Amino acid sequence: ISQENPTPPANRVGPESVAYLMYTSGSTGDPKGVAVPHRAITRLVLNSNYLELGASDRLAQVANLAFDAATFEIWGALLNGAQLIGIPAAVALSPQDLALTLRQHGITVLFLTTAWFHEIAAQLPAAFASLRTLLVGGEALDPRLARMVLGSQPPQRLVNVYGPTENTTFTSFFDVRTLAPEAESVPIGRPIANTQVYLLDRQGNPVPPGIPGELCTGGDGLACGYWNQPDLTAARFRSNPFTSAPGSKLYHTGDLCRWQETGVLEFLGRLDDQVKIRGFRVELGEVETALISLPDIEQAAVLARPAKSGGLELAACLVARNGKTPGRSELRQAL
C-alpha cells in the first residue's frame, strides 16, 4: 500500500450511474434486472417526508440482500450516521425472539414484509412495542391485524408503505393511527418526497377521485430501466406527458388504485392476473401454462381465492385429456 499513488482516485460516479441491479419476477417467468441509479437511493433515505433518520437511530437489517428492502435498511442507516443491526434469520422468523432482540438492541426502525407482519401480529401483537417506527409493505395490509397491533402495545408509528422495485423500494406511505371497525382496507397514502404519482385510464388520461386507474410513478426514485431488455423498458418506462423536463419517464406499475376523498391512495388490485401470496409475486398464467404442459391436461384455469386461514390460496380448475384425470398428489408433484 505504501508504494501506491497517494492521490485519491477520480470519482466517475454520478447521480445517473447504476448503483445495483435488482432482479424481480416477470410475467414470462424470466427475472428482470432493474437498474437502480445512485440518485434513487439518496431520494429514498435522505431528507424525505415519510421518515427522519439520524445518528441516534438503530435500524434492523432483516431483509435478504436480493430484496430491495435491504436498500432502505443498509443505506438508511449508513447515509444518516445511524447504526445497522443485523438480525439472524432464525431470530427474525420467531416472533418471541424477534421481540426480545428488538428490545435488547434498542432497535428504533424496522421494516417487515406485510406477510410476515401478519404472522407476528396474529401470534404476538405486542412484539413491536419498543419501536419508534415500524414500516410494513409488500402487499395489502389486513386491517384486522393492524387493529390488533394498534390495540395492544403499538410502536410509536405504524407506517403502511407501497412501492415496486422499479421505483426504488417505496413510492407512497400512510401513517396507520386508527382504523374504523368496518374498514376493509388500509390506504397506501401519499407519495414520498421527490416522487410523482398519477392514476391514468387506458388512454393515458388522469382519472378523477374515486375512479380506478393505473398507478404510474415518476421522479428521482425511478430506475434506469431493465438491464439489456430495451423493448420491455420502453413498454413500462414511458415518456412523462405531464412535464417538459427532457427525458422524464413514468413507470407504469400495472397496479389499480383510486384517490379517496381524503386525498390518499387506495390499492385495488392488479390490471393483469398477477397476485401476491405470502409475500411472493405469482403469475396465474404461469401456473396455467405449467398445468397445460402436462400430458393429461387439456385446459386449465387458475384462481386466487381467500384461504380459511386468511390471505390467499390458489385453486386450479382442469379439463382432462381423453377423460384421464391425474390425482392431486400427482399434479402437485409435477408442478
> DSSP per residue over 84-116, as a string?
EEE--HHHHT-HHHHHHHHHHTT--EEEEEHHH
Whole-prediction pTM value?
0.83
pLDDT at residue 270, as a whole number? 81
Helix (H) or strand (E) holding 78: helix 69-78
pLDDT at residue 278, as a whole number? 74
Per the structure block, which three cell numbers stand in for 287?
Answer: 401456473
Assign 325 a pLDDT band (cuts: 50, 70, 90).
confident
Average pLDDT over every residue of 156-178:
96
Contacts of 52 (CB under 8 A, 6+ apart): none
Asked if 41 and 194 count as a contact pair (C-beta separation under 8 A), the reply is: no
Instruction: Name which residue leads in pLDDT, 1 or 154.
Output: 154
Contacts of 51 (CB under 8 A, 6+ apart): 76, 109, 133, 135, 159
Cα separation, 161 vs 48, whole angstroms: 14
Instruction: Name which residue leads in pLDDT, 310 or 144.
Output: 144
The values of phi and psi at residue 205, to 5°, are -95, 140
Computed over every residue of the chain, the mean pLDDT equals 92
Average pLDDT over every residue of 10-24:
93
